Amino acid sequence: MCRRRHVCRGWDSNTKRRHSVVLDKYKSAFDDRVIMANLMRPLPANSTKARDKVSALLTKCLSRGSPYGRHDSSTLRKLLLDLGLPWPHRSSATRSSLLDILVKSSLSFGIYAFWSFYVGHHPSRPYENTIYMTLDERCLEWIGDFEQLVRRARHRQYLRRCAEIVGGTGQSYSHMIDAVTVAHFNIARTVKVLWSRTTVPVFFSLRDSELRRALNGHLPDDSQLWPEDNIVNLQPALFDKLNATHFSDHKLVEGFKLFLGAYVVWLLSPFVSRYLTAAMMADMGVPNFAAAYLRYKCMQAVELTLPLAKWKAEHDTMGDKASLPERVSQAVTKRVLSNAYNMSLPWGLLDAEYAHVPYDKKGGSLELFLRSWRVTIDLLKKSMRRPRHLALHPPGIASYYLYRNLVAREVVVHNHMRSPPLLQPWFPFAVNAALVGTVMAQQLVLIGYFVFYFDEDYAYDAANPIYRQLEPLVKDIRRFETAFNRSGALANHTSNERRELLFTSWAVHSTSHIPRLAKAAVGRNDATKAGESTGGRRSYFATVPEDQLFFLVSCFARCGDIGRRLEVNKAICNIALPSAPVFRRAFKCGVNHLPWINFTWPDPPDDDAQLENL
């Protein structure tokens, strides 16, 4: 019986793990390989090559500094003041001043603090860029880190330590600590309920004069926005809630300003002070992971600076790419881009793409990153209405799944998902299908959802003639939603959570049939040969039937997380996966086996040729 408590028991019982989600462990191991490959490269005194800039940024970020790491504290202090954040001291705040701080952090400094504003390719006008606004997804990490500090009753010590680095010792920071803690829990509660990677975007009107003034104050003259203009809001429900509360309510704005200052310090502290990083990890109960955390943050900062070059460096580290995951990719999609820019752009083109990024061995890592981010955002701001400056993957927004799905029509499979140690050539085909195929299928479902249900302005398109052809699928979707609502499996679920379960269930159902394809036989033969050449390493999967293994791996990939995300992951394993008819047959389940709902998707055609064309 595939129930989440059985599949995830070992992972969930490990209270000292650093990674909240199981796949993050494998991403960290892959990142270490990429970092090592770049640190071992000899660096010239001067260079214009993107590969050298990746290596130089990583070397600078990871280089040994002062044991207390205070060399860049003055840079951080000046940055906070330039942003209008006299943190850790309290100061007055209004909606207009807070919007200006948020916009300035994005469009003048390229930091993208909390609620971020990005320059990106327009979703429906191919020769124009626009502004995207959304929650900075690093905020999800901040929420997790801070709540871990709270659970260990170390959050006050952490905030006081940060305040002393910026504002000096010998002062009481109790008011700031109380205000940040209260604001954090209010904001975290809102984010957990309203944030989602499958939210329907909206075009946001700039008749909001305060937001328009904030944007125009940090855009060049030929990129100014007018009341009739729109920007793209990727998280409309979350923005509406934050706008009505922490951005506007006079009782909350001062506390939010202090929260925002603490967030910026947390965001940049790995580049300011080794001491702050090591002490935070010790407070979180994982002191041995300080170095790994720093490596992760350095890779994250490089992606914010040179996204295509970072992905290319990852791709070059992968080694043999003619492996099982490629066959899975071909089985899932033939016409949608799949990491096209990650894999196909040569270094010569990337040298030209990132010619503006400085190559400098002087100064601290924070100073170098800030200069790189500022020169990048200055260039992007000039591209709003200039076709020669168009970029499909601009730094910042290029890391967002939703942007790449909807604008680039690109299915994103991160390089660590297709590489050791997560995938090995001797793994059964079902493992690759569960990890790579399901990720791709979920994004294809999302792309199809927007293409079929919404027009180019993200308005619901009830007149779309495709509905007549999709009527059987629409009926099945309604049956799933009705059965799920009646089950009470995820109490008080939101529409975003219900949509996530629906998309995941349909994606897993579709991908579960990949092992039936003709390509799967070739994949099995290759895996068997690889296992034999490595002394029979395939044997530790030998006792698990392949049809069961697919679902066990699909569930294992969702082990971990805390709070509401944990409940959603449980529902995916216990509700979404068992809705696939292949699951029921694999585990010999009846409709009365709890906690499954009384629903299964219809089986696809038995004919392999028809199945190939689905």
Percent of the chain exceeding pLDDT 90 equals 42
- Dihedral sign for Cα atoms in the order 336, 338, 341, 345: negative
Question: Residue 614's pLDDT is what?
Answer: 47
What's the pTM value of the predicted model, to 2 decimals? 0.89
Residue segments in the chain with a per-residue pLDDT below the cut of 50:
1-2, 66-70, 322, 334-335, 340-341, 609-611, 613-614
Question: Residue 240's pLDDT is what?
Answer: 96
The length of the chain is 614
Domains in the chain, CATH or no CATH each: 58-306+354-385 (1.10.1380.10), 413-612 (no CATH)
The DSSP secondary structure of 197-246, one letter per residue, reads TTPPPEEEETT-HHHHHHHHTTS-GGG---TT-EEEES-HHHHHHHHHTT
Distance CA 142, CA 62 (A): 21
Question: Residue 602's pLDDT is what?
Answer: 87
Name which of 273, 230, 204, 243 is nearest 102 in CA terms. Answer: 243
How many angstroms separate the Cα of 303 from the Cα of each of 10, 504, 590? 32, 27, 47
Question: Residue 105's pLDDT is what?
Answer: 97
Q: How does DSSP classify residue 573?
A: I
Give the helix ranges, DSSP H, for 318-465. Answer: 324-332, 340-344, 347-353, 365-381, 401-406, 429-432, 438-453
Distance CA 159, CA 161 (A): 5
Distance CA 472, CA 468 (A): 9
Distance CA 281, CA 284 (A): 5
Question: Residue 341's pLDDT is what?
Answer: 47
* HEC sequence for 490-524: CCCCCHHHHHHHHHHHHHHHHHCCHHHCHHHHHHH
* Cβ proximity of 300 and 97 under 8 Å: no
Question: Residue 125's pLDDT is what?
Answer: 80
* Residue 192 CA from chain centroid, whole number: 15
Question: Residue 68's pLDDT is what?
Answer: 44
Question: Residue 177's pLDDT is what?
Answer: 96
